[in-house]
A and B are shown apart, each in its own frame.
Chain A
């Protein structure tokens, strides 16, 4: 008898009290929370507040000003290399490139060690959640593989407002495709393992900058 049969057999015997004709949907599940209906502006404001509360740096900018902002953020850190995933609008890193920052594509052949040498990474996102201050990446266009937003120490993530902002976690799940690898990011990595003293920046990027692209 395989362990699969053993375990499933034990489960069925353990559930002898459950009537045979009962189906899963017969067990009543009350609704969770009704979804909030914030105005788009209010949702963007809340997103910005909650991101900042968890130590992400938040910038709000018009599409015309975005390239200059990106160049400025990189210059402020002295970043010389920027990882740009496939499908990222070419305009976004253009001003930085003009200022001498080297643009590296997300090369699938790059080893993690090579990735570790890159200063910064610029991506879009799939959706952002206002209520929790979260951006979600699903590997779609302009987002690259999961590792590129993890190994470099500086991540700039662009969120389109209001199109990509949702109120709450359930609305985000509705928009996401579970078959894709998903990464939910709420601020820079952190730990409270030492005396519950919160320290930002453990293994992930120590600086997360979120740019809300408005208009």
Chain B
């Protein structure tokens, strides 16, 4: 299976194949129920969860309504802290930027922190075409990459694989990417995690370039946040010399204080933990050891920055260069020269649109951009549990994928047009969503768009889309129903005809209705309509 999502079958067809896979269904049922139950317990620990959730939704709402303001603020703060900000209107541009940045370092191998955004833009494939190997370092992403597979869950991308399959993938493929799997590797998770540790450690220790996404960007301070469990994120964010982060524009939060709300919601909602093992926060580029020492004596961060600027100005004076100055350099200077600073010396932030502004233009669908990618909605969804993640044909499976993908990519393809229908509208996803996205509301809104067509924004421009194919019969039936319900005499006649012919009704509808009755029983028509019964008995008699 390749990494692209082009030409995938529509959701019902992909799901039909997935639901016949017994192993997959077993793996998924076990996984979703396990996380679901643990999450409920983690959330129950906080008495005021609903208040937190309301605060998070409101903060995201404020951010989205003033996104331009917060993006400009983020850019200024990141730049002031020594980072470089790039903007990418679409996937191709983002891939071009990242490829150019990696090429400039002269490296041909980069390490990656788990990132759905880079999956969305097909970054690994784009780098591959440029002769650059991107190695995934998250255990599940590694399993997916070695198995030439695709992620099937936001949080645990290899959830469709069981331990025996993973052992086989490691044995067969690790050697192609680096250190081979240990001899006699068994299928116990501890052993498999150890094999991944050994395989990746040598890559971590010599990596020069890493690519990440981010869970949050703080506009006020220019701080980026990556939330993880394994430590592969920390390795990639601190050891290499160059760090490139590709982040969707909706990931911004206004203030440092706002971050607190999300740091309380995300771990409990996602992995059902009070807090995930590791969270890294960084602002711009690493300070040199000397600046860090200054910061310790300075009263405030602002003073430390002023000191750093003064030092930079001093160094810029002729004759102040380390190479031309006589005398011994301080340990800090030597350290800074030798890469002793705390973290990468070059930091690039790529702000990605790729359909997000199109989503923002839809006042109903806009709320999908609040998503913090916790995956709680996947784990409670009866459809996801049976169909699995691959059927959704994008890095964003489950209920959130069903509303996000058709907005990011549009509903032109058969697959994307089928996604809003990949739901029973049971509402469990809305109930668990930590940022209160009304997923059912957006699903119904998108179904209407697919069936009726209408005005949408694509690539920043208004466009009129035609009703999707395959909905003509539905529309005709609905039009006929609307006319009939508007004309009481016609309705009465139709009801009487239906009652008198009820013995002749087929069990399955013919023609376009066949698929509908393939999974549903036709309602029984009563011998007499309610109106006729009322006219006859005034409510006094029994209807039969």
Contact with A along B270-299 (1 / 0, CB 8 A): 010111111111110011010010011000
Q: Is A94 an interface residue (CB 8 A)?
A: no
The residue on B at minimum CB distance from A171 is: B260
Q: Give residues 73-107 of A contacting B (CB, 8 Å).
A: 87, 107
C-alpha spacing A171/B168, complex, angstroms = 47
CB distance from B359 to the nearest CB of A (A): 8
Q: Which of B57-104 contact A (CB under 8 A)?
A: 58-59, 61-62, 65-72, 81, 86-89, 93
A178 in contact with B281 (CB, 8 Å): yes
Please give, as numbers and ranges, the residues of chain B lying within 8 Å of A178 by CB-CB distance: 218, 221, 223, 256, 281, 283, 301
Contact size class for B? 35 or more
- A54–B87 alpha-carbon span in the complex (Å): 40
Q: Is B31 an interface residue (CB 8 A)?
A: yes
Contact of A173 (CB < 8 Å), options: B157, B205, B260, B331:
B260
Q: Contact between A133 and B275 (Cβ–Cβ < 8 Å)?
A: yes
Closest to B34 in A: A196
Chain A, 1-30, contact with B by CB distance < 8 Å: what is the 0/1 string? 011101111111111111000111001111
Which of B201, B271, B336 is A108 in contact with, Cβ under 8 Å? B336
Which of B30, B274, B279: most chain A Cβ within 10 A? B274
Cβ contact within 8 Å between A169 and B260: yes
Neighbouring A residues of B48 by C-beta, 8 Å: 33-34
Please, how many residues of chain A have a CB less than 8 angstroms from a CB on the other chain? 82
Q: How far is the CA of A154 from the CA of B353 in the complex (A)?
A: 42
User: From B64, which residue of chain A is reached at the shortest CB distance?
Assistant: A15
**Contact of B460 with A139 in the complex, beta carbons under 8 Å:** no
A113 near B205 (CB under 8 angstroms)?
A: yes
Out of B87, B301, B332, name the residue touching A3 (CB < 8 Å).
B87
Nearest-neighbour CB distance to chain A for B227, whole angstroms, equals: 9
Chain B 174-195 interface mask (CB, 8 Å, partner A; 1/0)? 0000000000000001101100
Q: Which of B221, B296, B363 contacts A140 (CB 8 A)?
A: B296
Cα A140 to Cα B477 in complex, Å, equals 70
**A147 at the binding interface (Cβ < 8 Å):** yes
Q: Smallest distance from the beta carbon of A58 to chain B beta carbons, Å?
A: 15
What's the Cα separation between A193 and B151 when bound, in Å? 12
Q: In the docked arrangement, what's the CA distance between A146 and B267, Å? A: 22
Contacting A141 at CB < 8 Å: which of B55, B192, B296, B339?
B296
Question: Contact between B230 and A27 (Cβ–Cβ < 8 Å)?
Answer: no
Q: Contacts A30-B51, A183-B278 given: A7-B351 contact, CB under 8 Å?
A: yes
Task: Determine the distance from Cα of A2 to Cα of B237 in the docked complex, in whole angstroms.
Answer: 29
Contact between A177 and B357 (Cβ–Cβ < 8 Å)? no
Residues on the A chain within 8 Å of B67, using CB: 11, 15
Contact B275 A27 (CB under 8 A): no
The 0/1 profile, CB within 8 Å of A marked 1, for residues 324-341 of chain B is 000000011011101111
Q: Is the CB of B274 within 8 A of A132?
A: yes
* With contact pairs A186-B277, A193-B158 given, residues A27 and B62 touching in the complex (Cβ less than 8 Å): yes
A202 within 8 A of B: yes
Interface: B394 (CB within 8 A)? no
Knowing A27-B62, A54-B277, A178-B218 touch, does A33 contact B51 (C-beta < 8 A)? yes
* Interface residue? B232 (CB, 8 A): yes
The answer for the CA separation of A192 and B70 in the assembled complex, in Å, is 35
Looking at the complex, which one of B264, B281, B301, B360 makes contact with A169 (CB distance below 8 Å)? B264
Interface-facing stretch out of B136-144, B482-490, B503-511: B136-144
Is A183's CB under 8 angstroms from B68's CB?
Answer: no
Which of B143, B192, B196, B277 is close to A204, meaning CB atoms less than 8 Å apart?
B277
Residue of B nearest to A188 (CB): B277
CB neighbours (8 Å) of A215 from chain B are none
Q: Find chain A residues with CB under 8 A from B189 CB.
A: 194-195, 197, 199
* Known A169-B263, A178-B221: A7·B353 in contact at CB below 8 Å: yes
Distance A179 CA – B441 CA, assembled complex (angstroms): 40
Expressed in whole angstroms, the minimum distance between the Cβ of A102 and any Cβ of chain B is 20
Given the interface pairs A11-B68, A178-B283, the reply to whether A32 lies near B305 with Cβ below 8 Å is: no
Verify if B358 is at the interface (C-beta below 8 Å from A). Answer: yes
Is the CB–CB distance between B196 and A183 below 8 Å?
no
Is A194's CB under 8 angstroms from B166's CB?
yes
User: Which A150-173 residues have C-beta < 8 A from chain B?
Assistant: 150-151, 168-170, 173
A to B CB contacts below 8 Å, 21 in the list: A7-B351, A27-B66, A28-B58, A33-B46, A108-B338, A109-B340, A116-B205, A131-B274, A140-B296, A170-B260, A173-B256, A173-B260, A178-B218, A178-B256, A179-B81, A181-B280, A191-B140, A191-B230, A194-B193, A196-B31, A202-B197
| Residues of chain A whose beta carbon lies under 8 Å from any beta carbon of chain B | 2-4, 6-18, 22-24, 27-34, 50, 54, 87, 107-113, 116, 129, 131-134, 139-141, 145-147, 150-151, 168-170, 173-174, 177-197, 199, 201-204
B positions within 8 Å CB-CB of A:
27, 30-31, 34-35, 46, 48, 51-52, 54-55, 58-59, 61-62, 65-72, 81, 86-89, 93, 137-140, 143, 156-159, 162-163, 166, 189-190, 192-193, 196-197, 200-201, 204-206, 218, 221, 223, 229-232, 234-235, 237-239, 249, 254, 256-261, 263-264, 267, 271, 273-283, 286-287, 289, 292, 295-296, 301, 304-305, 331-332, 334-336, 338-343, 351, 353, 357-358, 360-361, 363, 457, 460
